[in-house]
Amino acid sequence: MASQKTKPWISLIRLIGVIVPQRLRADWRQEWEAELRYRETQLAEWQQLDWRSRLDLIRRSMTAFWDALFLAPRRAEDEIVQDIRFALRHLLKNPAFTCVAVLSLALGIGANTAIFSLVDAVMVKMLPVRDPEQLVALDSFTQRGEQRDFSYPLFKYLRDRKSSFSGVLAASDGTSRMAMKMPSSDDTEQVEVQMVSGEYFQVLGVDAFVGRLLTAEDDQAAGANPVAVLSYNLWQRRFGGEFSVIGQTITVKEQPLTVIGVAPAKFFGEAVGRAPDVWTPLTMQPSLQKGQSYLESPNISWLRIMGRLKTGVNENQANAEVNNVVWQLKNESNDLGKSALNIAKIDVLSGAQGLAEFRTRFAKPLRILMAVVALVLLIACANVANLLLARATARQKEVAVRHAIGAGRFRLIRQFLTESLILATFGGVLGLLFAWWGSRALLILVSGDSSPIPIDVTPNVRILSFTFAVSVLTALLFGLAPAWIITRPNVGSALKVTTPARPRLGLSRLLVVSQVTFSLLLLIGAGLFLKTLHNLRTINLGFQAEQLIQARISPRSSGYKPEQYPELNKRLIERLNSTPGIRSASVAGSGFRSGSSRTCCIAVEGYTPGKDEDRQIQVLEVAPGYFSTIGLPLLMGRDFTPSEVENKPGVFPKLAIINETMAHRYYGQANPVGRRFGWGDQKVVYDTEIVGVARDANYGNLREKTKSLIYYPSEGGTLLVVRAGLDSSTLVSTIRNEIKTVDKTLEPFISTVAELRDEALVQERMLAKLSSFFGLLALLLAGIGLYGVMSYDVVRRTREIGVRMAVGARGLDVLGMILREALWLVIAGVLLGLLVALMTMKVIASLLFGLEPTDPLTLVMATVVMLAIAAFAGWLPAWRAARIDPVFALRHE
Amino acid sequence: MKKNYLSYTMALTLQAIENGYGYGFDIMTVTGLASGTVYPALRRLEDAEFVSSKWEKASVAQAELRPPRKYYEVTKPGRTVLEEARQRFRLLSQLEPLATNKPARQKS
């Protein structure tokens, strides 16, 4: 057989056999060869092996090609299964490596998925309503460019002239916290109430889960329809999901409301980040917020408007139409027309994702966090790549053997990439679990100590595909380079020597440098955010915030009339002042982070305002003793005396204390005490005398400069301020009890100023906490990376170190040598990191307070921390190198 | 997943094997189908376990100084589906049974 000359058809079969899967190839070749040979022998026997038959044989062997093509696809699936089996076996054999790699990847991928879940919920996800892409939000801007809500008359005007919209809805801007009494018990609970127009649910396209939702008929006349729709959550939480709730009466702020239905579970209203518990018609506003009605005045802006576009109408057309309607309105001479003059423009924007305020508030922090976690993932990738590279040596022999028996380089790379993909897949799955837990933890963190912000972060298709994509990308990122390097063909040398040839460490060094760079960036960011938080927390408020407690009361709910407030307040203050542990108490119209009122238009004697000067001034009613209670010093003049308080609601007393800013603005360096001002435009009566100047106080807009403020004497405020003697936290319940002994129907809302200040810093705290967490994580990963590379380096150089020591190097010299090498890497990384930081930290400038993005102290601190960790991570392997026994090392192969 | 519904080509191939043409080339010759059709049909039938393949005895091949040929046999489930296919493709029954060892298409 061997003597036979190879026939052309046989060579053809051999050639074509290449595309047949390897496991089938031998069989396949033999089958075809045998057939052709058999045919050939037969023809020879019959003496018919002429040129025609030969051609026929060649033709037949050519058709083997089709057979081979048919079998070829089995090759890939076959080899992939092989790859996966081999990779799994290999990973199981190295459990320590697998665990470390999977865990680092899981941390990186999990962090990315968690932050992406938030990004998705806040910035991407559409409202869970019918055809959300048809929804638009209307944003009204004043002549001064400020965004302003809509008034009820303006909403009705727009609603009745809606040609671009199939429906228009209005909802109160935000929810109000109100006490709700259960139907048949005295149980009360604080619930979030939102007032919405009758069309609200129809326009959003939401159907009732139980009962019915509001309709336009429910919203006709003020106070005529005391009905309520419950959220699914409240229905489950307080009513046990009982269908009998329909028709029952709940009492919200003394106003009985009949429950008519329950909204579906996923529905949370028109704005992400809020979750009203109860919806009532807009026309119930006067009944629920006793006192002023918001329904008549075109000057009270309290509504957000959304609309559903008619089919075929786009946002631009709707925009043009709305602005045209407003333009016509401006020509009308009634009150509404006049109020419309202040509207510069109305923007019609997509409302598919709900109203934007939450989105705009968290967009930047979320983007920064996304960048932060991306860096963490890169560092984790570098770590895994380094681990893979370190094992390259161990596997060099394996690679050489496989190469020698015929595996192509591409095939080997595929094998290694399969391993990477499996690692990344495990990392991704574990990361998804981390994210599941992490995104909830994040929400709680973002929300401060109150209940978590109601955002739905359940994993959806988008989040899952994001995680999948990130995992695959990660695998390529950390797997490709090591695979490329490991499979570099150097069969001969690798097979011969037992100690592998020294592979170049260029890539792993580069990886460590980049890890250090990224970690330093994250550390610097974390430092900046921490310092910002610290700056804002320790900002000088002007008064003594510690040990100060605020108690908001609502006497109106307990049946008091405004003229009775001063008398009630006097009793309360007297009672509190005689309570042990309380140093002093007073009352004011508002306080720290509890809103402010502004009045127009001030006219100061002897001062000519500029043409466009803002003449609105913040005013605050305070009782005598207020300044000493909150610890706000008077710089000039004196406090009000009890006899100066007139207590006539709505009438400004003729005495005032102004703050420093106002004094500087209107009087410069002169002493304002004894000077006068008045209100109005024409025929101003300068009848108010300034009796004192108080130091500037920051009432809650921590980042803003203090504005001009006038204090008036009055005892009719509803905010009690209490200066505690020692520990303010234990006093909260005491104060509640004392207030209750004066009038048990009063429901005070008590908190310390320190708590309120912390609440104001939610975003800053979130950024500081998360960036520090991720910064430390990055530091840890980079430390592990450096440690890994250096220890591997030491092991690899055992022999060399042994020689050095044999010829006289001391342990200290070796220690120094290894440490120096580690530090060079770190210093390179640090320098690069500082350079990048100087160039990029500008992007977070707007989130910082009281320091520059290139704050030198932060840069130095971050560098020191980085160097310290690096020194530690490098010291361990160096120390081990220094203890190498030369005799052992020289024998070491 | 086993497919019990045969295409005409597969049925014809199966019938040819049933009739005693066990080798790929013989099937090609007797059915007149091209090898690009016969072999994939064979592979599919084998995957579906309607035919099984065996190598001919090495001694026979060695005597003729060629590698052993692979031949195919119809299995029990193969017979069942063939029966079903015959109902649909009447022409199948007309396929000539193996009579002689001579190739069908020979030059005289």
Residues A663-686: pLDDT tens digits? 998 998 889 999 988 887 777 788
- Look-up: residue for tokens 């055992």? A798
pLDDT for B108: 34
A355: β partners: A271
Q: Is A823 exposed, middle or buried (0-12, 13-18, 19+ CB in 10 A)?
A: middle
Is A779 or B37 the better-scoring residue by pLDDT? A779
pLDDT for A692: 93
pLDDT (tens digit per residue) in A3-18: 455 677 778 888 887 7
Please count the residues of chain B. Answer: 108
Q: Which of B64, B67, B106 sits opposite A33 (nearest CB)?
A: B67
pLDDT (tens digit per residue) in A535-572: 988 888 888 888 899 998 878 767 788 888 889 999 99
Is B34 close to A63, i.e. CB distance below 8 A? yes
Q: Does B35 touch chain A (CB under 8 A)?
A: yes
pLDDT for A527: 93
User: Is pLDDT above 50 for B107?
Assistant: no
> Which of A178, A201, A198 lies closest to A189 in space, CA to CA?
A178
Is A64 close to B28, i.e. CB distance below 8 A? no
pLDDT for B101: 47
CA distance A404 to A200: 74
- Grouping H, G, I as helix, E, B as strand and the rest as coil, residue A647 is coil
Q: Are B50 and B78 in contact (CB under 8 A)?
A: yes
pLDDT (tens digit per residue) in A684-708: 788 889 999 999 998 877 888 888 8
Task: Specify the pairing of strand A147-148 against strand A719-724.
Answer: unpaired
CA distance A793 to A675: 80
pLDDT for A168: 92
Residues of A within 8 A of B66 (CB-CB) are 1, 34, 37-38, 41
Torsion of CA A566, A568, A574, A580, to 10 degrees: -130
Give the whole-number percent of chain A exceeding pLDDT 70.
Answer: 94
pLDDT (tens digit per residue) in A119-140: 888 888 888 888 888 999 998 8
Neighbours of B102 (CB within 10 A): 9
User: Is pLDDT above 90 for A297?
Assistant: no
Residues of B within 8 A of A48 (CB-CB) are 106-107
- Cα distance from A28 to chain B (closest Cα, Å)? 10
A656: β partners: A690
The residue among B25, B38, B53 with the most chain A CBs within 10 A of its CB, best to mutate, is B25
| Helices within A297-356 (DSSP H only) | 315-330, 335-340
pLDDT for A501: 45
Residues of B within 8 A of A71 (CB-CB) are 43
pLDDT for B104: 45
Is A485 or A851 the better-scoring residue by pLDDT? A851
- Mean pLDDT of the B15-39 span: 80
Is B106 close to A41, i.e. CB distance below 8 A? no
pLDDT (tens digit per residue) in A41-75: 777 777 777 777 778 777 777 777 877 887 777 76
Q: Which residues contact B63 (CB under 8 A, 6 or more apart)?
A: none
> Which of A502, A509, A503 lies closest to A800 in space, CA to CA?
A502
- Grouping H, G, I as helix, E, B as strand and the rest as coil, residue A211 is strand
- Grouping H, G, I as helix, E, B as strand and the rest as coil, residue A170 is strand
pLDDT for B35: 63
The residue among A6, A32, A46 with the most chain B CBs within 10 A of its CB, best to mutate, is A32
Amino acid letter at A332? E
Q: Is the dihedral of CA A293, A298, A304, A307 positive or negative?
A: positive
Q: Are A117 and A441 in contact (CB under 8 A)?
A: no
pLDDT (tens digit per residue) in A422-433: 999 999 999 999
Distance of CA A535 to CAs A539, A541, A722, Å?
Answer: 6, 12, 26
- Mean pLDDT of the A270-295 span: 83
Per the structure block, which two tokens stand in for A160?
Answer: 């009745």
A255: β partners: A252
pLDDT for A828: 93
Task: Specify the pairing of strand A165-172 against strand A303-309.
Answer: antiparallel
**Three-class secondary structure assignment of A581-604:** CEEEEEEECCCCCCCCEEECCEEE
pLDDT (tens digit per residue) in A592-615: 877 667 777 788 888 887 777 777
Is B35 close to A27, i.e. CB distance below 8 A? no
Buried-state track A698-734, b at ≥16 Cβ within 10 A, e below 16? bbbebeeebbbbbbbbbbbbbbbbbbbeeebeebbeb
A139-142, long-range: CB within 8 Å, 24+ apart, which pairs? A139/A346, A139/A347, A139/A349, A140/A343, A140/A345, A140/A346, A140/A347, A141/A343, A141/A344, A141/A345, A141/A346, A141/A347, A142/A342, A142/A343, A142/A344
- Mean pLDDT of the A476-491 span: 78
CA distance B108 to B101: 16
| Window B:1-30, CB contacts with A under 8 Å | 23-25, 28
Q: Which residues contact B41 (CB under 8 A, 6 or more apart)?
A: B7, B9, B10, B13, B33
Q: Which of B35, B37, B69 sits opposite A60 (nearest CB)?
A: B35
- Grouping H, G, I as helix, E, B as strand and the rest as coil, residue A813 is helix
Q: Which of A30, A31, A65 sits opposite B24 (nearest CB)?
A: A31
pLDDT for A374: 92
pLDDT for A489: 65
User: Is pLDDT above 80 for A302?
Assistant: yes
Give the whole-number percent of chain A exceeding pLDDT 90.
Answer: 21
Q: Is the dihedral of CA A194, A196, A200, A201 positive or negative?
A: positive
Confidence of residue A240 (pLDDT cuts 50, 70, 90): confident
User: Is pLDDT above 70 for A213?
Assistant: yes
Is A453 or A862 the better-scoring residue by pLDDT? A862
The residue in chain B having the minimum alpha-carbon distance to the alpha carbon of residue A48 is B107
Q: Does B71 touch chain A (CB under 8 A)?
A: no
pLDDT for A194: 92
Confidence of residue B2 (pLDDT cuts 50, 70, 90): very low
- DSSP labels, A659-689: EHHHHHHHHTTS--TT-EEEESSSS----EE
pLDDT for A483: 85
Q: Which of A34, A41, A70 sits opposite B39 (nearest CB)?
A: A70
Is A46 close to B106, i.e. CB distance below 8 A? yes
- Mean pLDDT of the A340-355 span: 83
pLDDT (tens digit per residue) in A759-776: 778 778 888 888 998 999
> Which of A84, A89, A9 lies closest to A53 in space, CA to CA?
A9
Confidence of residue A630 (pLDDT cuts 50, 70, 90): very high
How many CA within 13 A on the CB side of residue A57?
27
CA distance A389 to A758: 47
Is B33 or A862 the better-scoring residue by pLDDT? A862
Computed over its alpha carbons, how large is the radius of gyration of chain A? 38
Average pLDDT value over all residues in chain A: 84
The residue in chain B having the minimum alpha-carbon distance to the alpha carbon of residue A50 is B107
Q: State which of A266-275, A718-727, A857-866 shows the largest mean pLDDT.
A: A857-866
Is B24 close to A38, i.e. CB distance below 8 A? no
Per the structure block, which two tokens stand in for A400?
Answer: 């050489």
- Cα distance from A87 to chain B (closest Cα, Å)? 28
Torsion of CA A519, A525, A526, A528, to 10 degrees: 150
Is B36 close to A41, i.e. CB distance below 8 A? no
User: Is pLDDT above 90 for A263?
Assistant: yes
CA distance A588 to A245: 41
> Which of B56, B17, B19 lies closest to B39 in space, CA to CA?
B17
> Which of A556, A456, A524 lies closest to A829 in space, CA to CA?
A524
